Structure 1
Amino acid sequence: MSAGTPTGQRIGNHLDNSGRPSHTSTLMRVVRNSGCRCRASLDHFLREFSMTLDQLTPGQRGRILRIQGVDSVSSRLREMGFVAGEWVEYVCRAPFSGPVKCGLADARIAVRNGEAKRVEVELIA
């Protein structure tokens, strides 16, 4: 925890606007309330408490935090619907380290491992 965390404040079990647990949202709120205006601190919290899509296990759900990169691959991921705030479910992985199959909105999409590593998600318990 950062030095600016108010005493007695619980970081876990917080509900976001949709009524679902949101640990990253809580951490970002604590950083903002602590007086830290540094973008590096927010990025540090995102890296520490988030994971990439390929790190999920079958059946786990998460909320997309961001897509890494500014090239054509990340642009294509955004066009397919991988945008910040969307819910994604890890369905399965194809045999022999094949693509990751995930559920996004009402669609099932398979993405390569390299593309799945670019999608940062917040795990939803």
Structure 2
Amino acid sequence: MTLSDLPLHASAKVENVQDLHANDAIARRLRELGFVNGEEVRLVARGPVGGEPLLFQVGFTRFALRRSEAARVLVSSTGGVA
């Protein structure tokens, strides 16, 4: 499953960030922001227009991502809903 598929208020663990090409700046930046293997992430909110942007929480920090960016982060469901 990807972050963009995560139900609202659900938690998951990051497995991997997909690189679309060599030296992928977006994938690198997502990892720098904390989307790394084993990190817990939660979908906090969705934007009003087409459900974009998506607001995720990693630790105590929140990030707004486009759906296309969130689709690059592979996660496994922890079954947790806050």
TM-score category by the smaller chain? 0.7 to 0.9
**Please, which runs of 5 or more residues in structure 1 have no aligned partner?**
1-50
Residue 59 of structure 1: how far off its partner (Å):
1.0
User: Which structure has the highest helix share of the two?
Assistant: 1
Correspondence list, 1:31-46, <5 A: none
Q: CA deviation at 1:57?
A: 1.1
* Aligned alpha-carbon RMSD (Å): 0.9
Q: Give the match for residue 73 of structure 2.
A: 119
Stretches of structure 2 that go unaligned for 5 or more consecutive residues are none
- 2:28 aligned to which of 65, 71, 75: 75
Higher RCO (CA 8 Å, separation ≥ 6 residues): 2
Q: Whose Rg is larger?
A: 1
Stretches of 4+ moved more than 6 A in 1?
Answer: none
Q: Which structure features the higher share of strand residues?
A: 2
- 2:60 corresponds in structure 1 to 106
The percent identity for this pair of structures is: 37
TM-score (norm 1): 0.58
